């Protein structure tokens, strides 16, 4: 089931710079997208979401962009901080199902 | 901030044994879920539960699995006869309303090791 893909397994960014995490999806029925942050041996923590009727949603340092025609979304973190170092998962849902479909995750490392 | 709590945090069990994982969802939430993550793999949906019955389940959720809300606060996942491949982190989650268009909040996870 590759409906949600995160093609970059890892990303390394210097503190203070922008981190851009990407996610692609194949199912055009998806209408709600979420980003979760996860530390090892902990549960996913909700970060930010976006509905398919929008193309941008911003919350503090986090902004999610949605390009429906390209079936692509991205998470921008600016400025990046060392505490942002974690695995980031994008997830998608549709009105036809209860479940979230997760991507494989991108490990972000923010170094000083 | 309200949170989903899970117990135990880690359980080691012998193959063939029954396991019950427990969860206390966020109190005003109506939808409950179990997900799992096998080491190195993606987080996968197992089952959703609403109004005291299963509303959706994945192909992973076979007859060995069951869920129950035995009282007003707990939500449990039972694995009747564990297999080695059941070793994973199991996440309970809840949401106020159905997942589409709404945020699902996850617990810290229960790490199950089947030996």
pLDDT (average), residues B14-40: 94
Q: What is the band of B99 on the pLDDT scale with cuts at 50, 70, 90?
A: low
pLDDT at A1: 56
Please list every residue in chain A whose beta carbon sits closer than 8 Å to the beta carbon of residue B48: 98-99
State which CATH number among 3.30.70.20, 2.60.40.10, 3.30.420.40, 3.90.1280.10 fits the domain covering B5-99. 2.60.40.10
pLDDT at B72: 77
Contact B43 A102 (CB under 8 A): yes
pLDDT digit string, tens, across residues B34-91: 999 998 889 999 999 998 999 999 999 999 999 999 887 899 999 999 999 999 999 9
Contact A98 B56 (CB under 8 A): yes
pLDDT digit string, tens, across residues A24-34: 999 999 999 99
pLDDT at A52: 93
pLDDT at B18: 97
Enumerate the domain spans of chain B.
Answer: 5-99
Cα–Cα distances in Å, from B49 out to A15, B57, B110, B111?
Answer: 42, 9, 19, 21
pLDDT (average), residues B85-104: 87
CA-based nearest residue to B105, from B48, B9, B25, B22: B25
**Which residue in the set A51, A98, A100 is minimally distant from B55, CB to CB?**
A98
Would you say domain A4-111 falls under CATH 2.60.40.10?
A: yes
pLDDT at B100: 66
pLDDT at A95: 82
For residues A34 and B103, give the distance between their C-alpha atoms in angstroms, rounded to a whole number. 8
Specify which residues A67 forms β-bridges with: A72
- Whole-number percent of chain A with pLDDT over 90: 89
Please list every residue in chain B whose beta carbon sits closer than 8 Å to the beta carbon of residue A34: 103-104
Nearest residue of A to residue B43, measured between CA atoms? A102
- Give yes or no for a cis peptide into A79 (omega within 30° of 0): yes
Please list every residue in chain B whose beta carbon sits closer than 8 Å to the beta carbon of residue A36: 106
Q: Provide the sign of the torsion angle of the four alpha carbons B70, B42, B79, A39, taken in this order.
A: negative
Please list every residue in chain B whose beta carbon sits closer than 8 Å to the beta carbon of residue A48: none
CB of A101 less than 8 A from some CB of B? yes
pLDDT at B102: 77
CB of B7 less than 8 A from some CB of A? no
Tokens of A86: 């974690």
SS3 assignment, position A91: strand
pLDDT at A40: 84
CB of A53 less than 8 A from some CB of B? no
């Amino acid at each position: 089931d590759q409906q949600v893909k995160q093609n970059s397994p890892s990303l390394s960014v210097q503190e203070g710079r922008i981190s851009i995490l990407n996610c692609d999806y194949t199912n055009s029925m998806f209408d709600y997208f979420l980003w979760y942050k996860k530390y090892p041996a902990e549960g996913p923590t909700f970060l930010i979401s976006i509905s398919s009727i929008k193309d941008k949603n911003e919350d503090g340092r986090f902004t999610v962009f949605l390009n429906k025609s390209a079936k692509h979304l991205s998470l921008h973190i600016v400025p990046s901080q060392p505490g942002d170092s974690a695995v980031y998962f994008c997830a998608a849902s549709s009105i036809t199902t209860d479940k979230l479909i997760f991507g494989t995750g991108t490990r972000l490392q923010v170094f000083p | 901030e309200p949170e989903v709590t899970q117990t135990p945090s880690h359980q080691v069990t012998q193959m063939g044994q029954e396991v019950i994982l427990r969860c206390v969802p966020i109190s005003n939430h109506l939808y409950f879920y179990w997900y799992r993550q096998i080491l190195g793999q993606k987080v996968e949906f197992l089952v959703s539960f609403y109004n005291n019955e299963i509303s959706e389940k994945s192909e992973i959720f076979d007859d060995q699995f069951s869920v129950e809300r035995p009282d007003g606060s707990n939500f449990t996942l039972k694995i009747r006869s564990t297999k080695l491949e059941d070793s994973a982190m199991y996440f309970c989650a809840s949401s106020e309303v159905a997942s589409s268009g709404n945020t699902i909040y996850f617990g810290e996870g229960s790490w199950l090791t089947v030996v």
